Structure formats: structure tokens, C-alpha cells
Amino acid sequence: MKILPKIFVLLLSVCPFSIALSAVPALGQEDVNKINELQQEVDRLYLVGKYTEAVPLAQNVLKLSEKAFGPDHPNVATALKYLGVLYRFIGEYAKAEPLLQRALAIREKALGYDHPDVVETREYLIGFYKHPDVAPFLNNLAELYRSRKDYAQAEPLYRQALAITEKARGPDHPDVATVLNNLAELYSGMQDYAQAEPLFRRALAIREKSLGPDHPNVALSLYNLGMLYDTKGDSAQAEPMYRRVLAIWEKTRGPDHPNVALALNNLVGLYLTMGDLAKAEPLAQRALAIQEKARGPDDPYITLALNNLAVLYFTMGDLAKAEPLAQRALAIQEKARGPDHPDVALALNNLAVLYFTMGDLAKVEPLLHRALAIQEKARGPDDPYVALALNNLAWLYDTTGNSARAELMHRRALVIQEKAKGSEHPNVASFLFNLAVNQAAQQNYRDSRGLFQKGLLIQERQIQNIFTTTTEAQKLTFIQFIAEGYLVQLGYIGNT
């Protein structure tokens, strides 16, 4: 015997809805009667198992409810769920899933995440995904929760999808690799790299074996694994991954495809981190040329290449080349995204750092304050991009003699970075060095030296990672790159 799931009944009357929702047109009695009549017939057919016959009637209930209440009303969510349940029972899972998803979204927005009706809808949707035939859809719900950073809800769904897919397809099927990859991305978002790495590696191995070493999906696995190592600050392991991604995309998509520019930009960022500017420059120029050709000169996607090239010239000390690139990136982002978009904040930050280096401090402060305000509003107070804006604003105050104000920003930026990246990440070392300089300026020499020594230990571990796999030339380039920073910091501390 088939167990029937709980279904809500639409009970409509004129007064409650005309009073509670002033924006909704008043319902005539004819509309109310029509919806109730159709719903009663849907109920009757459902209870006797005539699901196919009930579907067109349920579709009419949904259509009338949307017209009467608007597309985001809880009554529409009820009608959506009704129709989704019917599709589930006749085996049309692809039609059922988006209806149930939409019903959940409407109820969450209208009633709140913990409302009983929302909880009931969520539990029903999870139960829907347990059916083996709809295991592929389970990823969609997990992806929804991951996009909201609701990792506690997403993780068991991914795990369930993995178990169902492994059982149905076998452990080495490409569909298994897809679920493994998504679960690994979840752990990466949680900064749980120890759990993410083996999942990414298993997904890569499955795809290489089942699809061949040059398949685009293999490139995606390599890209994700490279990003993981890059995020951890392990440049030595990230580089070969990015190199393979570039080779595959050049081979499968052609040398001028936007994906090739993406791979080039990742290598540029990596070489900038390693201080290998000679390798970075031609890649950055090529990435920009590809993006301009593919998307046009004013497309916001080209700002990544513009930014990387500006940072490269800035690092090389060629400010005359860097400034117009940074200005162009800001103009494109403001036009395309609007003045308060996070990408605008990044462009503001880069331009401010450029003016700071040029000594034009009057231009710097308003740009950095605006960047900080945008990032805090868009990303929240504890995001790494907020830390970047705080760090640069603190440097400005250090330079202008306001060390006490700068210290508050340095310390907040350091806390954010350690929380987001982990206390051993190379980026944390830079924030430690900046706070060390600030403390030296305030004659807190013991604290300053302790912070500097802690940062040195982090960078020494980074050097060990790089020295295990890179060439002698790359090792020398990296040492020269970071030595300049050491000398600046040591000189500042030693002279105060």
C-alpha cells in the first residue's frame, strides 16, 4: 500500500486576504469558488490514486492562485507543492523538483526559516530526493543550501547523494565524480581543506580514468584542486594543476577562448605571489588580449585581466603603466555593476594603493573609505575583502602619523584573516608584518618583534613548500621578492 504524504488544503475566503494583504487585489466570490472547486476535485482524484487526471486541475489552481495573490504568496507555495507532489507520484521528477524548490523559497521568504510550514516543506523535499531515480536532483538542493552558506543543511544532502549515486552507478562513474567535486567545494567553502583535498583528488582520478586525461571535465577537477592549493598558499602544488588546465583548454577550446584567459589569469596571480614577474607579464598581456577580443573593451569580465596587469606593473614599479589600467578597471565596473558592487570596491582599493605609492595621499583616503563601506555592506564585517580594505586604510593612517587609529584596523584585519584563512596562511604573515610596523611606530618594540617573528615562521614554511618542487631559478626569484619586504620591515623596526 502506498503511503500518502501530507498535503495542505487551500481554504480561501474574501475577508482574511483583503485585510492582510492590501497589495493583493480583492478576490471576488467567483474566484474563490472556482479555486475551491478545483482544489476539492484535486483532493478527490488524489485520494483515489488518479494522479495523472489531477495534474491539469492542479495546474489551474496554481495559475488562478498566482493571478489572485501574486507569485510570492504562501497560498501559491501551497499550490506549487500540490502540483509537485502529483508529478512525483506519476514519476515526472524533473517537473516536480523546481515546483517544490519554488514552494520552499516562497515560504522561507514569507514565513521565516524556522516556521513549521517551512520546516515541513523542507523535510518533504529532502524525502523527495531520497528516491534513487531523483538522486541527481539531490545535488540541486545541496547546492542551494551551499550558495546560502547553510553548510549544516548541505553536507548531509551531498553525502546522501554520494551514497545513492555510488550504489546506483558504481564507485568510478563520472556522476560520482560530480558529487565528490560538489562535496569538496562545500568543504573548501568551510576552509576544511583536509576533507576537501582527497575528495577533489578522487573526483580527478575518476574523470581521468573514465573520460581521458584531456577531457574538459578533467580540466575542471584540476582547476578546483589548483584553487584549493592556491587558497592554502601552496604555490608549488597549484602551479602544475593550473598548467594542465591551460593546456587542456587550449587544446579543446582553442587558444583564444575565454576559459584560456581564465587559466592564464590564475597563473598570473600565482606568479605574482611567487614574485616571478618575468613569467607573469606575457601571460597577463595575453589574457587581456583574449578577453578584449572575445567580450569587447568594456565588458566587466575583462577587469580581472586589467587588474592583474595593473598589479604586475605596480609590483615592477612601473606606475605610469599601472595607473591607466587601474582607472579603466574602475570605470568599467562602476558602469556595469553600479557604484556599490563589491567588484567596484576592489577596483577602488587597487587605485588607492597606486596613488598611495605615488604619494598622492589626498586621493587615497576617500577611495579606501568608500571601498571599506561597500565591502562591509555587501559581504559582512568578517569577510577577507573587508580585511584587505582595513589593512590598506590602516597603512594610510600609519603613514600620516595616526598610529593609534591604524592599530585598531590592523588588529581587526588580522583577526578576520586568521579566521578566514587559518593562522598559518601566507597572507596572515603580511598582516602580522603590518601590525609589527605599527607597534614599532608606537615604541611597543617587544610586541613588534614577536609579531614579526611569527610572520617569518609562516613565510619560512611557505618557502619550504616552494623549494620542494620549483626550479633553482624560481627559488632565487622568490627569495629576491620576499627579501625586499623583510628588509623594509627589519629596517623600520631596527631604526625606531
DSSP per position, 259-319: HHHHHHHHHHHHHHHHT-HHHHHHHHHHHHHHHHHHH-TT-GGGHHHHHHHHHHHHHHT-H
What pLDDT is recorded for position 381? 93
Return the half-sphere exposure (C-beta side, CA atoms, 13 A cut-off) of residue 59.
9
Residue 267 and residue 226: Cα distance in Å, rounded? Answer: 10
E strand or H helix at 389: helix 384-399
Q: Is the pTM of this model over 0.75?
A: no
CB neighbour list of residue 394: distance below 8 Å, 6 or more residues apart: 406, 407, 409, 410, 413, 434, 438
What pLDDT is recorded for position 139? 67
Per-residue pLDDT tens listing for the chain (496 residues): 333 322 222 222 222 222 122 233 444 556 767 888 888 888 888 777 788 898 999 999 899 888 888 888 888 888 888 898 888 778 787 788 788 888 888 887 887 766 777 767 776 666 665 555 555 556 667 776 777 778 888 888 888 878 878 887 899 999 899 889 989 999 998 889 999 999 999 999 999 999 999 999 999 999 999 999 998 888 889 999 999 999 999 999 999 999 999 999 999 999 988 888 999 999 999 999 999 999 899 998 899 899 999 989 988 989 999 999 999 999 999 999 999 999 999 899 989 989 988 888 889 999 999 999 999 999 999 998 899 899 989 989 998 899 999 999 999 999 999 988 888 887 888 899 999 999 999 999 999 999 989 988 887 776 666 666 666 666 666 565 555 554 444 343 333 3
